[in-house]
Structure 1
Amino acid sequence: MTKSFVTPVGFADAQQGLAHLFVRGLVVEAEIGVWAHEKGRRQIVRIDLDLAVDDPRAAGDDHKKVVCYEWASNEVRDIVATGHFNLVERLAECLAERLLSDARVHAVRIRVEKPGAIRGADAAGIEIVRLRAPNPETPL
């Protein structure tokens, strides 16, 4: 199977009615890692979120009608609190799935970093992009 490069997701796109909601450098303590010295202890994990969300103009000034960055941050904290993750990849996938559960979120880019995981590097981790699955009942 040959992999091809994909066109980057436009997180803000007026023609598609999308705005870009983001959270940068959210620091949480997570139980994460596969090595024995990582089990049973918390480590600092830094998370960046990018969400393509419904254009907020229709909401006026009503925060209840928009996707809120505090909501997204709290979802991250809730998932991290569920228990141990062996892989940063799995944590990123769980975050993507949860954030995409809001119908107003159309795409996510999630970066999960473990600061100090590699000697001589600021951080190591993963970045994923996930798109909302099309609704089979919505005509194309």
Structure 2
Amino acid sequence: MTATFTTILEGLEVVMGLGIHPQELAAHQRVIVSVRMDIDYPASPSEDRIEEVLDYDFVREGIRALAAKRHFALQETLCEAIAALCLGDARVRQVTVRTSKPDIYPDAAVGCEIVRGRG
């Protein structure tokens, strides 16, 4: 019987190029990223070893690499790239990705959230 776990990376702050407005094209900005992955394992971990589960370091490092690699015009495009990164691990059944730009408006953050899965 498979065991499903949810792994969460919450509130990762990256400074990156994101947006279409002149001020966003001129300078990098803070972006907050959260990822929630539903992961299927053949069985519950029994030996308390990282090799038995998804090591979320690859998600954090992958997001940082995406942020450093290019300027994204849209949060939607960034979310899709992060979802594809996560789904690159065959054990990930579904991923929810949320991004937020906290410094665009003085009174609100703006963001995007997507849910992607297999099949």
Q: TM-score, normalised by structure 1?
A: 0.77
Deviation at 1:59, TM superposition (A): 5.7
- Say which of 86, 90, 111 aligns to 1:103: 90
- Say which of 51, 69, 81 aligns to 2:37: 51
Distance 2:17 2:10 in 1: 21
Q: Quick one: percent identity of the two aligned structures?
A: 31
CA RMSD of superposed structures (Å):
1.7
Q: TM-score, normalised by structure 2?
A: 0.90
Give the structure 2 partner of residue 73 of structure 1: 60
Structure 2 gap ranges (5+): none
Which residue identity lines up with residue 23 of structure 2 in the other structure? H
The higher radius of gyration belongs to 1
* Structure ranking higher in helix proportion: 2
Checking the alignment, whether the CA contact within 8 Å between 1:32 and 1:43 is kept in structure 2 is yes
Give the stretch that moved more between structures: 53-62 or 85-94.
53-62
Distance 1:24 1:75 in 2: 15
Q: Equivalences for 1:110-129 in 2 at 5 Å?
A: 110-121=97-108, 123-129=109-115
Checking the alignment, whether the CA contact within 8 Å between 2:30 and 2:103 is kept in structure 1 is no
Structure 1 gap ranges (5+): 1-14, 134-140
Checking the alignment, whether the CA contact within 8 Å between 1:19 and 1:54 is kept in structure 2 is yes
Residue by residue, what CA displacement relative to the aligned partner does 1:57-112 show, whole Å, maximum 9, x if unpaired?
A: 24622212311122211111111111100011100000001110110111100000
- Regions of 4+ moved over 2 Å: none
Question: Secondary structure at the residue paired with 2:8?
Answer: strand
Greater RCO (CA < 8 Å, at least 6 residues apart): 2
1:117 to 1:59, Cα distance in 2 relative to 1, 3 A: farther
Checking the alignment, whether the CA contact within 8 Å between 2:59 and 2:85 is kept in structure 1 is no
Distance 1:63 1:104 in 2: 14
